[in-house]
Structure 1
């Protein structure tokens, strides 16, 4: 029992000594002033220091014009021209300080300024935990470094890592950008920031909004996520995420990407976008939709990839789509493996096994050029292995083929057709509604006139050779020209069907 009592007594003595040492360590014992007063009316044990006040506690030095020192409680209140020096690297200035030596926390007020040689923090009031090396302000504050300024309602400064956390009405500015956000973390050593909440970024060349992001101010590279919107000149962009390089003026956008050209009234949607601001060009990939909104009708086009570049001298844009291209407009549909579109020229060019459908007509060739006019299609040029098929019903097809076919349209209907080079034709003439036979002809040049979409007149201009065959007893070879392929099952049925490659 005596042994236990001795052990308890020893532990109490050691604890008392430890607490005494800590209390002694917390006391402020190093100080000087021009005048030191003791006045019980001020408070018991409180000293008043006047003129050239200097105080040191651990690795903290402090000067001011006047102060009250409570050594028993390790409290120091300084007034006027307060200057804190921390380890010769950090300087803090204010009009008033309330310093607690026990927990090493300072409360500063009045034009507070904290400087570390790289960054300056300004605030009306600031709390500074010198043991943990954390400072925080509330009611408004500002930090300034070599090229950036940040303002917020309140914020934290982690001194050792040079990292700041800002909240409420955060405004970040530098020579290139202004960022307005809800909360932000900023490292002044690396000049990198992370921000969260509804955010807006303004610059001379574009505007961006998002809900989350990262910005490397030194390398001028930004990453934005969550409901991203960007405006650059006439271009509007939406995406789930976006990476922007200011020096290269290059943008990458990912997932649910939508790009709108407000001048050309064009909308492009896809999953990945690569946009060159200087070239005013972009490449969209993965399930790309291209939509033109016109007074007459809208064109819906689908492809795996779409490339576009703006031609400033002509105030227009060139489009290239590939591969697996399909398009739908109420008056015309088509598909190919590669497509070019010059908006100002109203010219669409199809390459690699192109097919175009217009009403009950199907057109194929090595390449097809479609010339659009205000009220629809003006003409269509089929180059190389040109083939025009008009479906009369489920059994009979009128057919024209040649090296080159030009179809002209009037009021949205095919009005006449010119065939040049190895022209061949196959038609089913009618007496009223009854087919009377099969008319086959060969000529180097054929001119066909149509009325209400039906053949009205055929002229065989060079070396014609023709014959009329009875409808009964026709063989398969008689009914179809060589190379005939009816591809109606591959025709896009509506705007939603353009993504269905059959």
Structure 2
């Protein structure tokens, strides 16, 4: 962010115009000294002064090699080796000075160097209007802060005494030991201690790089707002949004519109309508069309929801991810939907709440509550509590089904390898004959059942107690007999990878 150093430099620039030239009084300019003085041959009441000329006006002393002094209009034109001194606090030098006491304006031209205890200004033009209390330069200038060696460059500059505002325009560059700032226009109000920057702006430090097209920074409260496509690029994090608001003291950042937050250290990208980051709590939240992308060399995990939050526990560095409302998840090995989700990376356990549905290969898994044990973004096992149900599609008319109070599913290489059903077990599976035809189906009931799978399809079923089983010809089965109670095949809402891809990822 724009640093506090800006305050001293800009206040110093204001003094150039406030005290650098004579004050707003109408007292007659006094001639203190001149080696030689003659009357102008054409203009009445006009002196031509040469050699060590000295003027004085309102405690400000002005030196030059020669000058025209127009007594009636209280104006002098000074030439060569101009030096304007106010006590020992400031000195202004240049080639030519036009000072008009009546109109209350002053122009200095050529090789201008201004020095006071705080800053130095170097430029070729300097103008001040005591009526409007506006000072300006319109040639490239360099302003250096003595204490911090901060340097500000711009092609134009303006100071408005009435509203205590400094304007730097055209190719503005602010440099100090910690950062460089480039902008089209920089505006600073010395009363509110607030800096505004307009046009393409770039702020570069050793820790981060900031890009925006407009912004405001309060040097006292250290509150910053960036607008019109703002970007903050850090060593391990990049934040993008239509606008970014940051309170350094509170450690809170808010991002609005088309939010992208990239965590390169953990290979995580967050997208959404709005974002919120709390540095003190090490938590990040995304609101509205929120999405998390967890990059991996082999597979990528996608999670979308209305609201996403990521929080890191500073004691054990455990990262917890929470997703709420219309949660959708995609990973090549499994996909899912639910109302809310919690994931902890210390135990790699993913919890699905409120009518969750998961898919793996041709199988759909449902229950009141599901826990997924993962490793390297691949599913290892599932625990399904209450109303557990697995449906495996053979074709659009036949589905193998497993149902029970609770079930435990185990995976191998991303495919279901084994299922343990605990309580109220029911199965309905179709039997493949030696001609690779499905002609019969077996429906059975048993409290506890163990089912083994081969390549994602039911291979063998073991009933741990005496089952109540029925073999039937599929052709003779009624529609009701083809489905266990509560059958709901939800393939139409199964997430796919394309829905998670962002515009930048889908463009050619």
TM-score normalised by length of structure 2: 0.80
Structure 1 counterpart of 2:136? 136
- Which stretch of the first structure deviates more once superposed, 91-100 or 415-424? 91-100
- Which stretch of the first structure deviates more once superposed, 222-231 or 36-45? 36-45
1:364 deviates by: 0.2
1:337 deviates by: 0.5
Cα separation, 2, equivalents of 1:273 and 1:27:
58
- Which stretch of the first structure deviates more once superposed, 265-274 or 477-486? 477-486
Structure 2 counterpart of 1:487? 490
Q: Given the superposition, is the C-alpha separation of residues 335 and 29 from structure 1 closer, same or farther in structure 2, using an over 3 Å criterion?
A: closer
Correspondence 1:410-425 to 2 at 5 A: 410-425=412-427
- Which stretch of the first structure deviates more once superposed, 268-277 or 172-181? 172-181
Check the 8 A contact 1:33/1:50 in 2, yes or no. Answer: no
- Give the greater-gyration-radius structure (CA): 1
Structure 2 counterpart of 1:457? 460
TM-score normalised by length of structure 1: 0.81
Structure 1 counterpart of 2:311? 309
Correspondence 1:361-380 to 2 at 5 A: 361-374=363-376, 376-380=378-382
Correspondence 1:296-445 to 2 at 5 A: 296-315=298-317, 317-343=319-345, 345-374=347-376, 376-432=378-434, 433-445=436-448
Cα separation, 2, equivalents of 1:110 and 1:498:
58
1:33 deviates by: 2.0
Cα separation, 2, equivalents of 1:234 and 1:349:
28
User: Which structure has more RCO (C-alpha within 8 Å, separation ≥ 6)?
Assistant: 2
Structure 1 counterpart of 2:122? 123
Structure 2 counterpart of 1:17? none
1:245 deviates by: 0.9
The aligned length equals: 462
| 3-state SS of paired residue (1:82) | strand
Q: Given the superposition, is the C-alpha separation of residues 387 and 146 from structure 1 closer, same or farther in structure 2, using an over 3 Å criterion?
A: farther
Cα separation, 1, equivalents of 2:500 and 2:143:
56
Structure 2 counterpart of 1:151? 152
Q: Given the superposition, is the C-alpha separation of residues 225 and 234 from structure 1 closer, same or farther in structure 2, using an over 3 Å criterion?
A: same
Structure 2 counterpart of 1:226? 228
1:306 deviates by: 0.6
For structure 1, the residue ranges without an aligned partner over 5 or more in a row are 1-25, 86-90
Cα separation, 2, equivalents of 1:401 and 1:27:
99
**In the TM superposition, what whole-angstrom CA distance separates every residue of 1:298-330 from its partner, at most 9, and x where no partner exists?**
223321111111345555532111100112233
| 3-state SS of paired residue (2:281) | coil
Correspondence 1:28-43 to 2 at 5 A: 29-34=28-33, 37-39=36-38
1:63 aligned residue (61, 64, 87): 61
Cα separation, 2, equivalents of 1:27 and 1:178:
43
Mapped pair 1:277 → 2:292: no
**In the TM superposition, what whole-angstrom CA distance separates every residue of 1:98-117 from its partner, at most 9, and x where no partner exists?**
133264223165431479xx
1:241 deviates by: 0.9
Cα separation, 2, equivalents of 1:166 and 1:448:
76
For structure 2, the residue ranges without an aligned partner over 5 or more in a row are 1-24, 503-508
- Which stretch of the first structure deviates more once superposed, 331-340 or 39-48? 39-48
Give the root-mean-square deviation of aligned CA atoms.
3.5
1:50 deviates by: 6.7
